[in-house]
Amino acid sequence: MNRSLYMAGAILFVILQPLRANTSIRRATIVGGSNGSGKCTLEVNVDGSAEVEIWGDTAELRTISGQPAYWRRFQCNSPMPHSPVDFRFVGVDGRGHVGLLRDPRYNRGRAVVRIDDPKGGREGYTFDLQWRGSAGPGWTPGPPPGRGPWQGFPSAKAVQACQDAVTDRLNQYGFPTISFARTVPDSNPGPNGRVTGTATGRRRSVSTLFSFSCSVDFASGRVRSVDVQRQ
């Protein structure tokens, strides 16, 4: 073999190896049925920054910085449709920042989630993707009579309502960009349930950590009160 060709091939191999090592593709474990409403739960381990891109029953985990991120769990009750309706992202667990970068409804059916772990050492991050129906052929807009779009997901509805209220409050405080690191609903939700967690508000190049607590009616999703405190 020509020596120059051999050296070029060796250099290309060295360059490509880190790129391959920083990407991991996984197929979802499908459990149960959808009944028109879908949910995927993803859990990854991150030390640095990573992105997860999800389409159908497939997800790609990309390490952006730090040590290689790896999978813990990817479970769905059905593949995510190309054009989901009432799509929701819910951050469940993790000490850093996790948020939705790309909504699949406006990104050719692909959701992209960004995770930033600012502290040293690894951390597990769990988040849910939830949707109702698909805006494809044969889909009829609107929920059936007597059923809300989030029936079967009362905790998700309460979490989303709380996050919306916290976002509005922090926007009023002058933070235009909000990301939720951790949002935990009551384990026994009811009309006087609570949703708690932490969020980061970003203003220019400054990030500020807040804790929050919402009083929420889990049946209706109505937020009675929201308390946001700077950490």
Q: Which distant-in-sequence residues (6+ apart) come within 8 Å of 225 by Cβ?
A: 214, 215
pLDDT at res. 221: 79
- Among residues 60, 55, 116, 64, the alpha carbon closest in space to that of 83 is found at 55
Q: Measured between alpha carbons, how far is 52 from 60 in angstroms, rounded to an integer?
A: 6
* Choice between 227 and 5, residue whose per-residue pLDDT is larger: 227
**Does residue 183 surpass a pLDDT of 90?**
no
**Are residue 179 and residue 216 in the same domain, yes or no?**
yes
**AA identity, residue 225:** S
Q: What is the CATH number of the domain that holds 102?
A: 2.60.40
**Are residue 197 and residue 109 in the same domain, yes or no?**
no
pLDDT at res. 3: 58
| 52 contacts 94 by C-beta, under 8 angstroms | no
In a domain, 16, yes or no: no
In a domain, 151, yes or no: no
Contacts 24+ apart (CB under 8 A), 179-182: 179/97, 179/98, 179/99, 180/91, 180/98, 180/99, 181/91, 181/94, 181/95, 181/96, 181/97, 181/98, 182/91, 182/92, 182/93, 182/94, 182/95
**Are residue 127 and residue 39 in the same domain, yes or no?**
yes
Q: Name the CA radius of gyration of the chain, rounded.
A: 20
**Does residue 85 surpass a pLDDT of 80?**
no
Tokens of 188: 């026994």
Helix or strand holding residue 17 (H, E):
helix 3-21
In a domain, 206, yes or no: yes
**Are residue 34 and residue 122 in the same domain, yes or no?**
yes
**Are residue 107 and residue 192 in the same domain, yes or no?**
no
In a domain, 17, yes or no: no
Contacts 24+ apart (CB under 8 A), 186-190: 186/218, 189/154, 189/155, 189/158, 189/218, 190/218, 190/219
**Are residue 33 and residue 125 in the same domain, yes or no?**
yes
Choice among 46-60, 103-117, 178-192, 194-208 with the minimum mean pLDDT: 178-192
Task: State how beta strands 58-76 and 29-30 pair.
Answer: parallel
CB-CB neighbours of 33 under 10 Å: 10
In a domain, 173, yes or no: yes
**Are residue 116 and residue 45 in the same domain, yes or no?**
yes
Please give the tally of structural domains in the chain. 2
pLDDT at res. 42: 95
Q: Considering Cα of 159, then 164, then 165, then 169, what sign does the dihedral take?
A: positive
Task: State how beta strands 37-55 and 84-93 pair.
Answer: unpaired
Q: How far is CA 68 from CA 21, 97, 111, in A?
A: 7, 17, 21
The structure tokens 């050492």 sit at 121
**Are residue 97 and residue 170 in the same domain, yes or no?**
no
**Are residue 122 and residue 197 in the same domain, yes or no?**
no
pLDDT at res. 53: 94
**Are residue 58 and residue 96 in the same domain, yes or no?**
yes
Identify the domain containing residue 125 by its residue range.
Answer: 23-134
**Are residue 221 and residue 176 in the same domain, yes or no?**
yes
Chosen domain end from 134, 151, 170: 134
In a domain, 203, yes or no: yes
In a domain, 153, yes or no: no
**Are residue 166 and residue 63 in the same domain, yes or no?**
no
Confidence of residue 2 (pLDDT cuts 50, 70, 90): low
Q: Measured between alpha carbons, how far is 8 from 16 in angstroms, rounded to an integer?
A: 12
In a domain, 178, yes or no: yes
